Structure 1
Amino acid sequence: MSRCELSGKSPVVKNLVSHSNIKTKSTAMPNVQRKRIFSKTLNQMVRLYMATSTIRDMEHTGGFDKYILNQDDSVLSQRALDVKARIRRKMNKAKKA
């Protein structure tokens, strides 16, 4: 099953309702792509599975680093949490220097 590593979007079960009110179960899958995103703080590319809507949200927020730092930890995958921790460490190291 596809799942976005940054926003936590996953497949949703929904009902298709006909004119005669017959309900048919179906699943709506998020458009998840494997993308390489450049992190300005880490100065390197990061590869994650992310929904296309998350990519749009990220561009609107102001970039990958800003978006991942504002995300709640409960939504992020383990790989995304590792990237977030690396960004935080690098930012703290830069502040101390």
Structure 2
Amino acid sequence: MSRRCELTGKAVQTGNLVSHSNHKTRTRFLPNLCQVTLISDVLQRKLRFRVAAAALRSVEHRGGLDAFLVKARDGDLSPGALTIKREIVKKKASA
């Protein structure tokens, strides 16, 4: 399981820890990933995702999981989230 947010694509970053004496040490900055269950109003079911904490705020800001996925770019989404997005778009088009 990779350390990548399934909704936003946020992943591990690398960089330096810089001390007061300007000594540089390589480090990894990990995203704050949480296992969450989100509810899709259109599909009327619960879905489990591994999501960054910042992405949860973004989902709420956009009005829920369905609205977030419809507006999200396909390149940022995981294969599982992309499948869910296609289902939502298909169901909205038929309704």
TM interval, shorter chain, is over 0.9
- SS of equivalent residue, structure 1 residue 46: strand
Once the two structures are aligned, what percentage of the paired residues are identical?
A: 38
Which residue in 1 is equivalent to 2:14?
A: 13
Q: CA deviation at 1:57?
A: 1.0
TM-score by length of 2: 0.94
In 1, Cα distance between equivalents of 2:78 and 2:14: 21
Q: Which 5+ residue runs of structure 1 have no aligned equivalent?
A: none
Q: What is the RMSD computed on CA atoms of the aligned residues? A: 0.8
- SS of equivalent residue, structure 2 residue 37: strand
Which residue in 1 is equivalent to 2:86?
A: 85
In 1, Cα distance between equivalents of 2:51 and 2:10: 9
* Residues paired across the two proteins, number: 94
Q: Which 5+ residue runs of structure 2 have no aligned equivalent?
A: none
Q: Which runs of 4+ in 1 moved over 4 A?
A: none
Q: CA deviation at 1:20?
A: 1.2
Q: CA deviation at 1:34?
A: 1.5
In 2, Cα distance between equivalents of 1:87 and 1:55: 19
Which residue in 2 is equivalent to 1:26?
A: 27
Offset from partner CA, 1:23-52 (integer Å, 9 cap, x none): 111111111111110000101111111111
Write the mapping of 1:20-59 to structure 2, written as runs, cut at 5 A: 20-59=21-60
